[in-house]
Amino acid sequence: MNLRKPLILTVVASALVGSLAISSVSTAVAGAPGVSASEIVLGMQLPETGPASPGYNKVDDAARAYFDYVNSKGGVYGRNIKLVVKDDTYKAGLTISTASKLINQDKIFAFFGSIGTQTHVSVIKDINRRKIPDIFVNSGYSSFYTDPKKYPTTFAGLGTYTVEAKILGKYLLEKYPDKTIGVLYQSDDFGRNALAGLATAGLKFEARKTSASFIAGTQGSLGLASQIGQLKANGVDIVIIAAVSSATAVAYATAAQLGYKPTKWAVISVGADATTFQTILGSKGVPAATSAAMLAGTISASHAPAPGELDDEYIAAFKKINDDFNKGADTRWDNNVLQGMNAAYLATSALMGVGKKLTRKKLISYLEKNGSKLSSAAFAPLGYSKNSHEAFTGFWLGEYDASTLLVPIDGKRVVYTTDSAGGAVTVSNYKRPAISADALPKVA
């Protein structure tokens, strides 16, 4: 550790490295940050790479495809929507850095559609104190949205895990009163929120018997054999899965290996992506027909139509835009693409709704006042108000058919609605408005 003059030399060298990396600071625009006469800049953070990326790394490409479509039709009041995406690899340390980059260098107007609870929690406070809109976050973690005083600029882009679990739990309890119901969940915010929702619905599980857990992200390295073995040993008839799709695939494959055939599988929508499910099983050597048969009969929930409902007007319109405009690496039409498109559709609606004079403050107050009236592909109403920033407050329940399409149970789509607290589950009477012929939102 000899250091005399070399230290000075190194410091100079370090400064050189630093200055090389620093891009010319973009010129500040008058008015709201991120809004110019020709452009609105939105920023998104998500895991593009790393263990948490599968499936989710398609959402940004889908959203960008819709924005590109809007831009091709003249944009929002002549302004093109530009989406800047940063990969945080699902590590909060990086989320903090890339958020600062989006704010200070890309000069975004608002955060849009960021994915990941553990990562978003590291920046949500900072984004809110800077009063930057943080719209349509792709996380169902209810604590982000139920107290707008705490996070006034953050709005959900998904229904909360709690709401979905409450609706699913109530259904299962009423439909199968005599069966043993068990749960497999990942021990993180998502799993625990879902567990809380199921408990509110009256489902009680016994640790080491009817409830099995695993550390999120380890299904790919440790497998789920002991968890599935435990549920099997305790004679669980109905298995609820609150985990990501790749874990669902491992769970089904393991159950097949152990000769375990529960009467029903019920999968929280986060983990019920048929594409991921079939891709993983497919590369395990399971033919598509077999994996489809494995999934068939599984109960899941959704707020929007299933991606396979090609006669649905929103699905048809979005799928066409995906075919024409999506420039991502994987453009296969599935739940993740639909979610990205739908969030982009909502964002476009909100930006149009605010009007020509777009400011951050106006966007937030617009969403609080009129957000619940915005339409989208969803069959469930939006919950935005002064007192709550929750998105879709309802879900419909379906079962997968033999072609991996989620179809409403008993052939009739019933949308249930509830809140993230102790409120009752009721049937929603929301009527989804039609999509316009050009698939652009029409906002009064």
Give the Cα separation of 319 and 308 in Å (integer): 10
Q: Which is nearer to other proteins, 146 or 349 (CB)?
A: 146
Q: How far is CA 218 from CA 51, 91, 192, 215, in A?
A: 9, 16, 17, 6
Give the footprint of other proteins on residues 137-156 (CB under 8 A): 141
Q: Which is nearer to other proteins, 85 or 363 (CB)?
A: 85
Choice from 163, 249, 268, 363 touching other proteins (CB under 8 A): 249
Q: Determine if 3 is a binding residue for other proteins (CB under 8 A).
A: yes
Using the contact rule CB under 8 A, the part of the chain among 18-26, 71-79, 366-374, 415-423 near other proteins is 18-26
Q: Which is nearer to other proteins, 72 or 226 (CB)?
A: 226
Q: Determine if 27 is a binding residue for other proteins (CB under 8 A).
A: no
Structure-block tokens of residue 167: 């609706």
Question: In whole angstroms, how close is the CB of 111 to other proteins at the nearest point?
Answer: 14
Using the contact rule CB under 8 A, the part of the chain among 229-237, 310-318, 344-352, 412-420 near other proteins is 229-237
Using the contact rule CB under 8 A, the part of the chain among 172-180, 198-206, 251-259, 341-349 near other proteins is 251-259
Structure-block tokens of residue 270: 């986060």
Give the footprint of other proteins on residues 66-95 (CB under 8 A): 85, 87, 90-93
Give the Cα separation of 388 and 293 in Å (integer): 40
Question: In whole angstroms, how close is the CB of 176 to other proteins at the nearest point?
Answer: 23
Burial class of residue 37 in the structure, from the number of CB atoms within 10 Å of its CB (0-12 exposed, 13-18 middle, 19+ buried): exposed
Q: Which is nearer to other proteins, 47 or 394 (CB)?
A: 47
Choice from 154, 246, 302, 326 touching other proteins (CB under 8 A): 246
Residue span 91-120 as binding mask against other proteins, x where in contact by CB under 8 A, dash where not: xxx--xx--xx-xxx-----------xxx-
Residue span 326-365 as binding mask against other proteins, x where in contact by CB under 8 A, dash where not: ---xx-----------------------------------
Question: In whole angstroms, how close is the CB of 87 to other proteins at the nearest point?
Answer: 5
Choice from 149, 221, 356, 429 touching other proteins (CB under 8 A): 221
Give the footprint of other proteins on residues 291-330 (CB under 8 A): 329-330
| Number of chain positions touching other proteins (CB under 8 A) | 93
Q: Which is nearer to other proteins, 108 or 439 (CB)?
A: 108
Q: Determine if 199 is a binding residue for other proteins (CB under 8 A).
A: no
Count CB atoms within 10 A of the CB of residue 140. Answer: 30
Q: Which residue has the tokens 């709401």?
A: 163
Q: Determine if 208 is a binding residue for other proteins (CB under 8 A).
A: yes
Backbone angles phi, psi at 265, to 5 degrees: -105, 140
Question: In whole angstroms, how close is the CB of 373 to other proteins at the nearest point?
Answer: 32
Q: How far is CA 415 from CA 163, 242, 321, 342, 345, in A?
A: 12, 21, 27, 18, 21
Long-range contacts of 402-406 (CB under 8 A, 24+ apart): 402/292, 402/293, 402/296, 403/292, 403/308, 404/274, 404/277, 404/278, 404/292, 404/295, 404/296, 404/308, 405/306, 405/308, 405/309, 406/272, 406/274, 406/300, 406/302, 406/306, 406/308
Q: Determine if 25 is a binding residue for other proteins (CB under 8 A).
A: yes
Burial class of residue 7 in the structure, from the number of CB atoms within 10 Å of its CB (0-12 exposed, 13-18 middle, 19+ buried): exposed
Using the contact rule CB under 8 A, the part of the chain among 217-225, 358-366, 389-397, 431-439 near other proteins is 217-225
Q: How far is CA 333 from CA 155, 178, 321, in A?
A: 26, 39, 11
Give me Rg for the CA atoms of the chain. 23
Q: Which is nearer to other proteins, 112 or 379 (CB)?
A: 112
Q: Determine if 403 is a binding residue for other proteins (CB under 8 A).
A: no
Using the contact rule CB under 8 A, the part of the chain among 49-57, 169-177, 309-317, 338-346 near other proteins is 49-57
Q: Which is nearer to other proteins, 73 or 125 (CB)?
A: 125
Choice from 2, 27, 177, 422 touching other proteins (CB under 8 A): 2
